[in-house]
Amino acid sequence: MIEVSAHRWVPPFAQGLVRDLRVRWALEEAGLGYDQRLIGPQDQASESYRKLQPFGQVPAYREDDLALFESGAIVLHIAERSPALMPSEAATREHVRAWAFAALNTIEPPVSMLLIIDRKRDEPRPEILRADVLALVKKRLDCVAAVLGERPYLLAQFTAADLLMATVLRFLRSTDIVAQMPVLAAYLQRCETRPAFQRALADQMAVFAANEPAKTA
């Protein structure tokens, strides 16, 4: 049986964005069942968990004797078993991998930096830096939009590359960047309306709702 680790709870700004969502979505697209292992800060620091995930992050993945970490690696592992995520034609499979790495290596780092800066907007120096990072984000997203054009997905069909790209674009939900780019906005909506995504998101959000800390007066 497949086991995926997930946070028991995170603050609202991160809910629906934690990277176990990628793995849940991939498993839903592939039609594979899984159990979830809910963890908290103490679990993340434990020796047993660090054997699965050296950095103590989420997600960690176990399947029989196989243990994996890093959401992109896990998604590609799942994709290798599913024509819903990885086409059979050899050259196309390599293009899927290329776009998967593009999502994680070219698009996600400046997007993540922008979000870090936005959480420090009351400090003057990050505001100066933000203009440069925002310009880089927009430049790279323009490239993705240009490739998409009128295509529904990055390649001929929905693949693991779209799954990863969509989850990166979702990080920008606190901004209007994607909304101002019609091609990307339509692309993201197309990905988010997939039934497998909706099931994965619902499962993640149900965990947070069930484990919300008690509010004190």
The model's pLDDT over 146-190, given as tens digits with 9 standing for 90+, comes to 999 999 999 999 999 999 999 999 999 999 999 999 999 999 999
User: Which whole number is the average pLDDT over 29-33?
Assistant: 98
Enclosing domain of residue 49: 2-83+196-210
Give the whole-angstrom CA distance, residue 29 versus residue 31.
Answer: 6
44-100 per-position pLDDT tens digit:
999 999 999 999 999 999 999 999 999 999 999 999 999 999 999 999 999 999 999
Q: Is the pLDDT of residue 217 over 70?
A: no
Report the SS3 class of residue 158: coil
Residue 26 binned pLDDT confidence (cut-offs 50, 70, 90): very high
- The verdict on 168 and 190 lying in the same domain is yes
Count other Cβ atoms within 10 Å, centred on residue 28.
21
Q: What percent of the chain has pLDDT over 90?
A: 92
In sequence order, what are the residues at sequence separation of 6 or more whose Cβ sits closer than 8 angstroms to the Cβ of residue 11? none
Q: Return the structure tokens found at 150.
A: 């009128």
- The verdict on 125 and 184 lying in the same domain is yes
The reply to whether 216 falls in a domain is no
- The verdict on 56 and 149 lying in the same domain is no
Look over the chain and give the mean of its residue pLDDT values, rounded to a whole number: 95
pLDDT at 66: 97
- The verdict on 104 and 162 lying in the same domain is yes
Measured in degrees and rounded to the nearest 5, phi and psi for residue 157 equal: -145, 170
DSSP string, 118-131: HTTTTSHHHHHHHH
Least confident of 99-113, 115-129, 144-158: 115-129
pLDDT at 215: 58
What's CA 110's distance to the chain center, in Å?
15
Q: Is the pLDDT of residue 119 over 90?
A: no
Report the SS3 class of residue 85: coil
The closest alpha carbon to 96, from 78, 79, 109, 108, belongs to: 79
- The verdict on 154 and 107 lying in the same domain is yes
- The verdict on 98 and 187 lying in the same domain is yes
pLDDT at 140: 98
Look up the pTM and report it.
Answer: 0.95
- The verdict on 140 and 201 lying in the same domain is no
Radius of gyration, CA atoms only, the chain: 18
Least confident of 5-19, 54-68, 116-130, 184-198: 116-130
Q: Which residue has the tokens 């290329």?
A: 98
